[in-house]
Amino acid sequence: MSTEQEQRTIRCLVAKVGLDGHDRGAHVIARAFRDAGFEVIYSGLHKSPDEIVQAAVQEDVDVLGISILSGAHDTLVPKIVDGLKEYDAFEDTLVLVGGIVPEEDREELYELGVSEIFGPGASMQETIDFVRENAPDR
Amino acid sequence: MSGDESLIDELLAGKHRALARVITKIENRSPGYRDLVSQLHEHTGHAQVIGITGSPGAGKSTLVDKMAATYRERGETVGVIAIDPSSPFTGGAVLGDRIRMASNVGDMDVFFRSMSARGSLGGLSTATTDAVKALDAFGKDRIIVETVGAGQNEVDIVRTADTVAVLVPPGSGDDVQMLKAGILEIADVFVVNKADVDGADRTVKELREMIHMRDASPMAGHHGAGAVEGEASDGGKDDDERQPPIVETVAKTGEGVEEFLEVLADHVRWLEETGELQAQARQRYAAEIRTLLREDSAALIEEELDARGGLDAYIEAVTAKETDPYSVVDEIISPVAECVRKKRDD
């Protein structure tokens, strides 16, 4: 029956955590995701890790894209990951980080469970393709 | 299947993740979602459902945020479903209302869920109705459904609510706008939000005139079948011909929100006293059954069409004037109708 045919749409939360006040990049990626046919929830600026976790859980997103330019990724990302685990939401959420992440910090984020880090040179298409290929199969 | 059953148990036990996942399955129409919704049904009917609609920029999200905060202060739990349009070209959407839920961040007892229209005709209202059921079964005291009041589809959605509030921003047009058909007709309550803005008084006045005119018309009253039952208790004629109140709010500051919630509570009391609440529920179930019937029979016909090799050959034949659309439909439907009638007689 067509009413039971699955209409799978990839849902993404584009999140700005912490104090950095620049969200041009987040807007650009939100729009690119929208144009790729994804449903995008944008968090707005200056969110705490708790708020991001709340949004990710309630919205049941496939993808959580955390945009950080402030350098606080090593304190904020672990808090988000822990929060997702608390709600059993970590296993099937693809966690991405975008922004400025120094080379020496990357390994730590990958070990935490971040799937990919997109720095300043990353292309939109690359990011979209990565999401399409790696969005969790539920 | 057993996975889905434990999902319902977890939802009923108050696990947010399970609630979120059930709504996703409903939205995606994942295999088995119908069983899920069927199981939810017996646990529903406790929440007050409020529909909020109005033009873009009327301040719906900000008002919803303040409503949720006020309910929470009273110790009640809240579910919010906010619907945003999706792109007709890519199906993509930016669901931006969550940003305005500033008063309730970090409070899991406000469960806010964004939904996109996903370009579907009719399907959206089914999905929304089902998502409301999930929140209701979860145990939310108040459920708010928020949508842009742009067309028929949105009107259908807010009709899933016990009370429909239509936001009218000041200066939203002259009195001809007030005469036009559409969302103004479905309001149980009018909210003139941004009441601190110039022109708010005039908007209130225009609304009042419009309501007055509507009352004078022979078609007045949108209570349908329920109104007939209600008339038995005569002497309460004023009660039956309820006029939608006009509330003024400034959602940004929270001004007028308490009064607005009081008006909503009044409306529910009125619905209960007149028996309208039950009548409404029956109408909703009737509409729901009809919608599902339509969807399923459409799917069945689609299946039949596929089995006959699809639409293209028929289009060719019609274009070549070998047949016509009515004959085509007759050819496809007749055997189906025959089967159904035979089955019924057996």
Contact criterion met (CB < 8 Å) for B90 and A36: yes
Run of H or E residues at B146: strand B142-148
| Angstrom distance (rounded) from CA B267 to CA B229 | 18
Which residues on A lie below 8 Å from B101 (Cβ)? none
Give pLDDT, residue B56: 81
Contact criterion met (CB < 8 Å) for A44 and B99: yes
**Partner-chain residue, chosen from B16, B113, B302, that has the shortest CB–CB distance to A2:** B302
Closest CA in chain B for residue A32: B92
Contact criterion met (CB < 8 Å) for A40 and B92: yes
Give pLDDT, residue A44: 87
Contact criterion met (CB < 8 Å) for A40 and B95: yes
Asked if A48 reaches chain B (Cβ–Cβ under 8 Å), the answer is yes
The SS3 call for residue A8 is coil
| Angstrom distance (rounded) from CA B174 to CA B177 | 6
Dump pLDDT digits (tens) for A38-88.
999 999 888 899 999 999 999 999 999 999 888 888 889 999 999 999 999
Give pLDDT, residue B103: 83
pLDDT, average across residues A5-14: 81
Give pLDDT, residue B154: 66
Q: Please give the model's pTM, rounded to 2 decimal places.
A: 0.86
Which residues on B lie below 8 Å from A48 (Cβ)? 105-106
Alpha-carbon distances of B94 from A37, A43, B99, B122, rounded to whole Å: 10, 11, 11, 21
Which residues on B lie below 8 Å from A88 (Cβ)? 17
Contact criterion met (CB < 8 Å) for A3 and B292: yes
CB contact residues (below 8 A), chain A span 1-40, against chain B: 1-9, 11, 30-31, 33-40
Task: Residue B267: name the closest of B190, B323, B201, B204 by CA.
Answer: B190
Contact criterion met (CB < 8 Å) for B90 and A51: no
**pLDDT band at residue A1 under the 50/70/90 scheme:** very low
> What Rg value do the Cα atoms of chain A yield, rounded?
14
Give pLDDT, residue B101: 81
* Other beta carbons less than 10 A from residue B300's beta carbon: 14
Give pLDDT, residue B151: 61
List per-block mean pLDDT (blocks of 10 residues) for chain B, which spans 346 residues: 76 95 92 94 95 87 95 96 85 83 85 83 78 97 87 69 90 64 79 88 86 64 43 43 89 94 96 94 90 90 93 95 96 93 90
Give pLDDT, residue B1: 44
